[in-house]
Amino acid sequence: MDSDTAIDTLSARYQDEVEKLRQYFAAGNTRPRQWRLAQLDALARLITDNESAISEALAEDLDKPLQEVLMGETALILSEIRHARRHLRAWMRSRKVWTPAVGQPGSSWVQPEPLGVVLIIGAWNYPVQLLLAPLIPALAAGNCAVLKPSEVAAASSALMARLVPEYLDSKAVTVVEGAVDETTALLRQRFDHIFYTGGAAVGRIVMKAAAEYLTPVTLELGGKSPCVVDDGADLASAARRIAWGKCLNAGQTCIAPDYVLVDKGRRDALIAEIGRAIETMYGEQPLESPDFAAIINDRHYQRLKSYLDAGQVAIGGQSDDRRRRIAPTVLTDVDPNAEIMREEIFGPILPVLDIDNLGQAIDIIRQGEKPLAAYLFSGSRDNQRRFSDQVSSGSLCINDVIMFMSVPDLPFGGVGQSGMGQYHGRAGFDRLSHLKSVMKRARWPEVNVRFAPYSQWKMRLLKWLA
């Protein structure tokens, strides 16, 4: 069977499955708050009952350390569930808005309502969290969902395909495994929202497919998240936090610091501090550390190895072909036009570039696409304010990296090429709801000013009311 025939066959099957979900949604099964709470509770049990299985799957896919499973996958999901549970009643409530004089007598409000059937396409770098975290607001908002885990993280995909039907309402949530053919066939279906996490190239494909039905999309993409260390930063603290953020999941994190811009007079001191931080965390032989993850597959491993020659190796540079590991590496003297400075690195390789001042750093950042995250280490409130005002990014963190993900009420999402749409907390609930505008008018008294026949005094009165 050729690929086109296979996609046609899959598409027909998925059409039936999506239609069943749509009928279940249309019957009103997912609207009650108790159903939503029950699904959130079931999702929490899925995580807590299967912590060992999840850890084993992530170890098989990424050799992910147990604590990183907790920090980057399970704990974040459970935190988001608790937050959604706590606030669901308030999120679902109608939100009254002001009605001007021209609309009186009457009242107006915004009423959240579920969208319908949502497609969620996960990513391989955090294959559990990036599949289930968008499902939390989807369920909280009262939607049905189709989950498509990444085939690149095969063990995690198989585990999610087994566990989700065991715990969640199988008439409302389904899992589709597979690769390009399956994803292509899914994207032929009519969904009420598509939520995609991954690279920009596939993001464009998703958006084109969504345009067929004018389906709204949330795209969580990525980009080159810059990290600036100014002349007043605490170098020891900055180095430790940068090293942790860059080495987390072996750098395979969409909001990892991608490159560092540092005052030229402090470059060598910063690099020395980064080296000490890496040795403290991973020992003298990081490739042997049980706390350091592997690269997901050989294609990405070979791509990252090719970057090791992009500059002078100041720290690291070692690799292990058998286990697909690359030691935490710092590069200097990198050509700003090299591929490593054009493409998202997505690995434990950190270019460090000299700058003369904060203004130059801001200019460098603004010459590229808007990043998913931006980081500044500075003790100056003026510099912090200037950076925040002048650098556009999905998220911004001052004097740390990545930690904004721990705040459920901070919306997460990209801007420009790094994505569109935000989720987490109420932002996710609103994103996966339709905020319907409602106005209710009283029948009396009837104000005749808007009705024909028109006159000069009616126009004067309308202008005054407006």
Over residues 367-376, the pLDDT tens digits come to: 999 999 999 9
In this prediction, residue 102 has a pLDDT band, given cuts at 50, 70 and 90, of confident
Say yes or no to pLDDT of 137 above 90.
yes
Q: Cβ of 409: how many Cβ atoms within 10 Å?
A: 10
Q: What value does the mean pLDDT take over residues 292-308?
A: 97
Say if domain 226-406 classifies as CATH 3.40.309.10.
yes
pLDDT score of 445: 85
**Taking each helix axis from N to C terminus, what angle separates 180-187 and 3-26, rounded to the nearest 10 degrees?**
50
Answer whether 162's CB lies under 8 Å from 136's CB: no
Name the CA radius of gyration of the chain, rounded: 25
Token digits of residue 288: 């042997």
Say yes or no to pLDDT of 4 above 90.
no
Q: 248, 229, 223: which is closest to 375 by C-alpha?
A: 229
Distance separating alpha carbons of residues 423 and 426, to the nearest angstrom? 8
pLDDT score of 1: 60
pLDDT score of 27: 98
Say yes or no to pLDDT of 173 above 90.
yes
Q: What value does the mean pLDDT take over residues 120-143?
A: 98
pLDDT score of 250: 98
pLDDT > 70 fraction of the chain, expressed in percent and rounded: 100
Return the DSSP state at 295: P
Q: What value does the mean pLDDT take over residues 174-191?
A: 97
pLDDT score of 103: 86
Query: What residues does each domain of the chain span?
Result: 3-221+416-438, 226-406
Q: What value does the mean pLDDT take over residues 149-175?
A: 98
In this prediction, residue 450 has a pLDDT band, given cuts at 50, 70 and 90, of confident
Q: Residue 180: what are its φ and ψ, rounded to 5°? A: -65, -45
| Chain segment 122-131, per-residue pLDDT in tens | 999 999 999 9
pLDDT score of 260: 98
Q: What value does the mean pLDDT take over residues 24-51?
A: 98
pLDDT score of 464: 85
Same fold, 3-221+416-438 and 226-406: no
pLDDT score of 466: 74
Q: Cβ of 460: how many Cβ atoms within 10 Å?
A: 11
Say yes or no to pLDDT of 109 above 70.
yes
pLDDT score of 101: 84
Catalytic residue numbers? 220, 254
In this prediction, residue 448 has a pLDDT band, given cuts at 50, 70 and 90, of confident
| Chain segment 322-332, per-residue pLDDT in tens | 999 999 999 99
pLDDT score of 3: 81
> 3-221+416-438: which CATH topology?
Aldehyde Dehydrogenase; Chain A, domain 1 (3.40.605)
